[in-house]
Amino acid sequence: MISNGVTELELWLVDRRELVDAWTVAFDGLPGVHIREGDILAIAENTIVSLFCPGLATGIGEVALVEAAGEMARAYWKWLARIGVDPSGRVPS
């Protein structure tokens, strides 16, 4: 879990193996991230606050999974910086 004293967050990324592999590389070293293969509803232990499907059209083959995962990681990194959490000092590539 990450916290800036006001906001607490755990980011859970759950999907099929191809996305899990791409996320594992893209989110490497970023705090508060849990990546699992499977069904989010089977993995959730408490409450799902938000559920997003930001696949950038990957379901229809418009954006490569690696590129989509990288965009997600960059957005998360920017959000961490905005709320004052040290996102490990690097911008995901």
Backbone φ and ψ of 25, nearest 5°: -70, -50
Domain-located, residue 39: yes
Q: For 26-82, how does the pLDDT look when each residue is reduced to its tens digit (9 = 90+)?
A: 999 888 899 999 988 888 777 666 666 555 555 566 778 888 888 888 888 888 888
CA diameter of the chain: 40
Domain-located, residue 91: no
Q: How far apart are CA 62 and CA 55, in angstroms?
A: 10
Q: What is the pLDDT of residue 75?
A: 86
Q: What is the pLDDT of residue 29?
A: 85
Domain-located, residue 88: no
pTM of the predicted structure, to 2 decimals? 0.70
Domain of residue 49: give its range: 2-83
Q: Which helix (H) or strand (E) holds 91?
A: none
* Count of structural domains, the chain: 1
Domain-located, residue 93: no
Q: What is the pLDDT of residue 49?
A: 62
Query: What amino acid occupies position 89?
Result: G
Domain-located, residue 31: yes
Highest mean pLDDT among 17-21, 43-47, 88-92: 17-21
Q: What is the pLDDT of residue 65?
A: 81
